[in-house]
Amino acid sequence: MKAITITESGGPEVLSWSTVPDPVAGPGEVLIDVVASAVNRADILQRQGLYNPPAGASPYLGLECSGHVAALGEGVSGWEVGQPVCALLSGGGYAEKVAVPAGQVLPVPKGVSVADAAALPEVTATVWSNIFMGGGNATSSNVFMVAGLRPGETLLVHGGSSGIGTMAIQLAKAVGARVAVTAGGKEKLARCAELGADILIDYREQDFVEELRAATDGAGADVILDIMGAKYLTRNVDALAVNGRLAIIGLQGGVKAELNLATLLAKRAAVTATTLRARPLDEKAAIVAAVREHVWPLVEAGRIQPVVHATYPMREAAEAHRVLESSTHVGKLLLTV
- Name residues whose C-beta falls within 8 Å of residue 280's C-beta, 6 or more positions apart in sequence: none
Q: Does 138 map to a domain? A: no
250 and 191 co-located in one domain: yes
Q: Does 134 map to a domain? A: no
How does pLDDT run across 216-266, given as a tens digit for each residue? 999 999 999 999 999 999 999 999 999 999 999 999 999 999 999 999 999
In angstroms, rounded to a whole number, what is the distance separating the alpha carbons of residues 206 and 61?
Answer: 36
DSSP 56-98: TS-SSS-SEEEEEEEEE-TT--S--TT-EEEEE-SS--SBSEE
In angstroms, rounded to a whole number, what is the distance separating the alpha carbons of residues 299 and 305?
Answer: 6
248 and 171 co-located in one domain: yes
pLDDT averaged over the chain?
Answer: 94
233 and 203 co-located in one domain: yes
Q: Does 131 map to a domain? A: no
What sign does the dihedral 163-166-168-171 (CA atoms) show? negative
What sign does the dihedral 292-117-110-79 (CA atoms) show? negative
pLDDT higher than threshold 80 for residue 141 = no
193 and 304 co-located in one domain: no
Q: Does 141 map to a domain? A: no
In angstroms, rounded to a whole number, what is the distance separating the alpha carbons of residues 161 and 166?
Answer: 6
Amino acid in position 101: P
88 and 202 co-located in one domain: no
188 and 285 co-located in one domain: no
Q: Does 140 map to a domain? A: no
223 and 295 co-located in one domain: no
Average pLDDT of span 55-75 = 97
Q: Does 126 map to a domain? A: no
- Name residues whose C-beta falls within 8 Å of residue 310's C-beta, 6 or more positions apart in sequence: 320, 323, 329, 333, 334
Q: Does 130 map to a domain? A: no
222 and 185 co-located in one domain: yes
Residue in 138, 176, 98, 95 with CA at minimum distance from that of residue 278: 138
182 and 224 co-located in one domain: yes
143 pLDDT tier (thresholds 50, 70, 90): very low
38 and 114 co-located in one domain: yes
Question: Which residues are bridge partners to 157 per DSSP?
Answer: 181, 225
322 pLDDT tier (thresholds 50, 70, 90): very high
89 and 169 co-located in one domain: no
Neighbours of 151 (CB within 10 A): 9
Average pLDDT of span 52-60 = 93
In angstroms, rounded to a whole number, what is the distance separating the alpha carbons of residues 277 and 337?
Answer: 23
Residues 259, 237 contacting (CB under 8 angstroms): yes
In angstroms, rounded to a whole number, what is the distance separating the alpha carbons of residues 88 and 79?
Answer: 16
148 pLDDT tier (thresholds 50, 70, 90): confident
Question: Which residues are bridge partners to 313 per DSSP?
Answer: 336
> Which backbone phi and psi does 244 adopt, to 5 degrees?
-75, 160
- Number of separate domains in the chain: 2
Q: Does 282 map to a domain? A: yes
- No. of helices (H) and no. of strands (E), the chain: 10, 15
Read off the CATH number of the domain in which 222 is found. Answer: 3.40.50.720
139 pLDDT tier (thresholds 50, 70, 90): very low
Report strand pairing: 29-38 vs 332-336: antiparallel
Last residue of a domain, one of 242, 258, 273: 273
Last residue of a domain, one of 273, 302, 323: 273
Read off the CATH number of the domain in which 64 is found. Answer: 3.90.180.10
How does pLDDT run across 208-218, given as a tens digit for each residue? 999 999 999 99
Last residue of a domain, one of 224, 240, 273: 273
62 and 151 co-located in one domain: no
Residues 183, 161 contacting (CB under 8 angstroms): yes
pTM: predicted TM-score of the whole model, two decimal places: 0.93
For residue 115, what are the domain limits?
2-121+277-336
